[in-house]
Amino acid sequence: MAASVRVKEALVITPSEPTPARVLSLSALDSQLFLRFTVEYLLVYRAWHGLDQASTTARLKLALAEALVPYYPFAGRIRPRPDSPGLEVFQRLRETAENRFSVEKTVVPPRGRRSKRIAAAGRSAYVAPRRCSGDRRRDHHCISDGIGSAEFLNYFAELASRKRVAGSIPKPVWDRHLLNPPPPAAKKIARVNPASHPEFNRVPDLCDFMKLVSTGLKPTSITFDKMRLGELKRLARCTSQAGDESSSFYTSFEVLAAHVWRSWARALEFPPNQVLKLLFSINVRNRVKPGLPEGYYGNAFVLGCAVTKDGELEEKGIGYGSGLVRRAKGRVGKEYVREVSELVSESMANPDLVGVLIVSQWSRLGMEMVDFGMGKPVHVGSVCCDRYCLFLPASDEDDESVKVMMAVPTFAVDSYHFLMQDSNLL
């Protein structure tokens, strides 16, 4: 698609029924500084011959208005809390100025052809070109994580495709207090040791890191099918560290994350002593006790952090990196989540980006199944591709295939592609 978009018309969509006037507090995990941005999802669909764009657009708008009734906080306004460093959602009683999704009619000329699109000025948008159609959705990350957004998106799609049983309404759960730290009177005397949470610790910058990794970025996309993932697992077993009894059971995520991390580091040629971190989200819905209720759509994840020096990551092989990822996952339990909640609420702890590669796994959210009445999407991803790495579902491949998308500095692209695709890397 072309990079330029000309806005033709803007529309405002409000919930189809009255919604309550409320102020809803976000959790300590929701209010983290690194989550204060919007996430844009792009789902592309094949359009059949004779698709009526006008009726499709009207159907999507009606479905969105209905979906915003049980999920009304998505249409609210995020603001700082007056009594704490956290955030809250301010919801007026169905006032257009606050309680809305804005939708714009645009014209996009992909590859020399013009096609119509509905695009968002607010938080959600729907695409309907002549050859392909799709959905572009924008959420503020403070309100919802990927799992929560996928639940809303699937509900919206069921309404649009008329697959939702009449009168059947989901039961989204707010209950953000469940992931807040305990009140001061209930806290133990011992303070959280920041060293036990390397995701928040700064490391020395030996190479002007941010300039190196962010200059002249070029998008890349490489797909790993079931066979290639099996090959990475074999390589990980061959290069695992002595005494690592879990090497026979590495998951696809663990080996692929390690492989991307190592290939990226080798391609960018960091100094051997540069400390590198791999950050990735870990769902804690079933790691806290008691587990979070079904339908909880807030940010229910913490950051796993694998950390090592560049020289060790490169020399010790993919098995070494896979072990670091697995051990980072294994550290996360109820106490770990409580500690993170305390650190981010009391000291506004926030990851420093020096030495960091962030991997976000979208391939297990179920977005590849979202059907607005046009079948499964042929592409699921982000509107923009930046230096953060996304694991996306590869819709046209087998169910286990993963598409790795990341923007890499132009000078390192060829090396990165070679290292990612070389079958003999140890």
What are the tens digits of pLDDT across the range 130-165? Answer: 344 445 555 678 999 999 999 999 999 999 988 876
Q: What is the pTM of this model?
A: 0.86
Q: How confident is the model at residue 324 (pLDDT cuts 50, 70, 90)?
A: very high
Rounded Cα gap, residues 351 and 140, in angstroms: 19
Rounded Cα gap, residues 303 and 157, in angstroms: 30
Regarding whether 158 and 285 lie in a shared domain, the answer is: no
**Tokens at 72, concatenated:** 């009304």
The predicted structure's pLDDT at residue 183 = 77
What are the tens digits of pLDDT across the range 46-63? Answer: 877 778 888 888 898 999
Q: Which of 145, 179, 213 is at the close of a domain?
A: 179
Query: Which structural domain, as residue segments, surrounds residue 55?
Result: 6-179
What are the tens digits of pLDDT across the range 288-323? Answer: 988 899 999 999 999 999 999 999 999 999 999 999
pLDDT at 102 over 60: no
Sheet holding 77-80, edge to edge: 22-25, 87-91, 77-80
What are the tens digits of pLDDT across the range 380-389? Answer: 887 776 778 9
Please state whether beta strands 217-224 and 356-361 pair in parallel, antiparallel, or not at all (unpaired).
Answer: unpaired
Please state whether beta strands 132-140 and 217-224 pair in parallel, antiparallel, or not at all (unpaired).
Answer: unpaired
Instruction: Enumerate the active-site residues.
Output: 141, 371
The predicted structure's pLDDT at residue 65 = 92
* Mean pLDDT value of segment 3-10: 52
What integer best gives the mean pLDDT of the chain? 82
Regarding whether 111 and 205 lie in a shared domain, the answer is: no
Regarding whether 204 and 341 lie in a shared domain, the answer is: yes
Regarding whether 217 and 352 lie in a shared domain, the answer is: yes
* Mean pLDDT value of segment 244-264: 88
Please state whether beta strands 275-283 and 356-361 pair in parallel, antiparallel, or not at all (unpaired).
Answer: parallel
pLDDT at 94 over 70: no
Position 375 in a domain: no
pLDDT at 330 over 90: yes
The predicted structure's pLDDT at residue 107 = 35
12: domain CATH number? 3.30.559.10
The predicted structure's pLDDT at residue 265 = 97
Position 185 in a domain: no
Regarding whether 128 and 99 lie in a shared domain, the answer is: yes
In total, how many domains does the chain have?
2
Least confident of 86-95, 360-369, 406-415: 86-95
The rounded percent of the chain whose pLDDT value lies above 70 is 80
